[in-house]
Chain A
Amino acid sequence: MTAAVEFLSVSRHFGPVKAVDGVDLTIAEGSFFAMLGPSGSGKTTCLRLISGFEKPTGGTIRIFGEDVSNTPPHLRNVNTVFQDYALFPHMNVRDNVAYGLMVKGMGRAQRHAKAEEMLALVKLDAYGDRKPAQLSGGQRQRVALARALVNEPRVLLLDEPLGALDLKLREAMQDELKALQKRLGLTFVFVTHDQHEALSMADSLAVFNEGKIAQIGTPQDIYDRPATRFVADFVGSSNVLPPDLTRALGGPAEWASLRPEATRLSATGPVSGPVKALRYLGSGTRVVIDAHGTEIAALVPAGQPVPAEGTTTAFAFEPSALHLMGTK
């Protein structure tokens, strides 16, 4: 399979700040690739390096095998859906969508026809004459999507495109985006700080931390087998066990991760502690136990008894649920 985007030890330093620091990355053609990380981790800068709004201070970026180090954004065959959508307020929706075709010199009738086609694809056929200010957040998001897709880019870049939408709309858009990507067979590169979004939408994802990639792999790899404590904590909201605790629970003296849904409360066990906090989630209750100073979260399914705050309880898990992460 061809690589749509390749990073060869790419860095982007802003003075002393290493926003992106020696990143190696390969994004397969036709995949839905997510870049996940907390704010300031370098994921957005990586996206801007692909679109050309940032120049690398070191390394090489290739798009479909071609070195784009000296290619300005307007000559790169990639398009971006911006976080704030960046729709042109003085143009109506149709002209916004047709903008890329207009600057390439396509005639008025033809580009408007193409824009209408694309608006139909995102289910906004009747909205061509409106101004962006007259649309809701979800509709603007679709216009931004249509405006990018109408240019038939080789790679579509999405910068936290769902961040401004409410939960219900966000979930609907996640499904739509995923379906659209499958249908078009296009490479999507998606930046998000929402681990659920990344896990549920991506074919593969890179977890960023402090300008570096902490782990890269399929959602299952990353969720089940986090490579570092950071990944375990950030992606799965997993319990991270220090070596002492792992040994006390019958494992080797290594750092380990344990998912809350694989942890259950039990009357007896090698380690017990008081219940520190309870959080009702609807589908269950998250019980946090203070185990020798380490917080261990267990997920109690709905319908099962939940201990009161302050009572002491032990916990248990299948030995295979414990994922070891080395001694460092």
Chain B
Amino acid sequence: MSSSPAILPAKGPADRLTALFWRHPRVLLAILLTPPLLWLGVVYLGSLAALLLQSFYSIDEFSGVVKEEFTLKTYAELLRPSNFDILLRTVLMAAAVTLACAALAFPIAYYAARYAKGHWKAAFYLGVMLPLWSSYLVKVYAWKLILAKEGIIGWAAEQTHTSWIIDGLLSIPGMEGSSLSTSPLGTFMVFVYIWLPYMILPMQASLERVPNSMLEASADLGASRGQTFRTVILPLALPGVIAGSIFTFSLTLGDYIIPQIIGNSANFIGMAVYQLQGTAGNIPLAAAFAVVPILIMLIYLAIARRMGAFDAL
């Protein structure tokens, strides 16, 4: 039998530190959590509180100076038709982009989660992530060229004598424009393209967690593919769909660059905030605009929770 000691000597400071953490697990937790909590609590929540506070101030219409008194006047201004239009347009766009992203992302995410193996899985991740590596502005300007009247889509339509489809789409009320790049339809297409990866990845992660035997059990009990999709796959993947939709929805709500470059220059919430805090110098109204997406997301999450979207978590 060997005669090595029952307690090994500490080899150095790392061993002693590990021993300290073993005796006081909370010390490690505190060390790990302090920096992010400082960042989140002070910097992030602090500025959010400042934003909220600003939205309850108002601006003196004559002097243009911010009056630091509590008032709901600024929020009332949001309901003026010109401002309310901006809110409505932004929310509708965000909802449409989210639905389109979900519909496009599902087959891709489903394939990646259920069938892709090895190299194909690597190709999937690369394919989804690659667009995220290049500059957002480059992509948006590239789309401006793609969607322009003389762009590749217009050219292809002309060659195949299908220009009437684009013309038809551009004559739908609300989508008018001289070309796709100056139509709200173009804004929508670019939004969908830019935010799609943020829908695919959480969806794929949640589909990956649905075991195969669950789908087999459903078929075994007599369910058709459609029934299995509605009653098993969708409810189990819903947390991922909701997570993805939070990204696409809130990113669209806050974006101010895409609608500036592509579309008919109609105002969106992000653009309004940008203009109000800059040229107009109306910080209270800009803050009130900025609070709207936060409220919408809170309401959206409350509804999703009510509908049981997080039951399968």
Contact = CB atoms under 8 A, between A and B. Distances in A.
Nearest to A87: B217
Contact of B220 (A73, A83, A89, A90): A73
A86 B214 contact: yes
6 contacts: A51-B216, A79-B220, A86-B216, A88-B217, A88-B232, A89-B312
Interface string B23-62: 0000000000000000000000000000000000000000
Contacts, number: 66
Contacts of B221: 74, 79, 99-100, 103, 147-148, 151
A86 B213 contact: yes
A74 B223 contact: yes
Q: Is the interface of B mostly helix, strand, loop or mixed?
A: helix
Given A89-B236, A90-B311, A74 B219 contact: yes
B207 to A, nearest CB: 14
B223 A103 contact: yes
A58 to B, nearest CB: 23
Interface in A79-125: 79-80, 82-84, 86-90, 99-100, 102-104
B254 interface: no
Most central of A78, A83, A86, A102 by chain B CB within 10 Å: A86
Nearest to B217: A86
B224 interface: yes
Interface of B: 211, 213-214, 216-224, 227, 231-232, 235-236, 308, 311-312
A79 B222 CA distance: 9
A148 B211 CA distance: 19
B211 to A, nearest CB: 7
The size class of the interface chain A forms with chain B is 20 to 34
A88 B224 CA distance: 16
Nearest to A104: B222
A99 B218 contact: yes
B220 A103 contact: no
Given A73-B216, A90-B312, A100 B235 contact: no
Contact of B222 (A82, A83, A88, A100): A100
Most central of A72, A83, A99 by chain B CB within 10 Å: A99
A223 B223 CA distance: 41
Given A89-B312, A103-B227, A103-B231, A80 B236 contact: no
Most central of A53, A100, A103 by chain B CB within 10 Å: A103
A263 B182 CA distance: 93
Contacts of B213: 82-84, 86
Contacts of A83: 213
A84 B312 CA distance: 18
Contacts of B214: 86, 88
Nearest to B226: A103
Contact of A74 (B211, B222, B235, B311): B222
A253 to B, nearest CB: 50
A78 B216 CA distance: 13
A50 to B, nearest CB: 11
Nearest to A103: B223
Contacts of B211: 84, 86
A138 to B, nearest CB: 19
Given A73-B219, A74-B222, 9 more contacts: A73-B216, A82-B213, A86-B211, A88-B218, A90-B311, A99-B221, A99-B223, A100-B221, A100-B222
Contact of B224 (A52, A74, A84, A100): A74
Contacts of A51: 216, 220
Contacts of B227: 103
Contacts of A151: 221-222
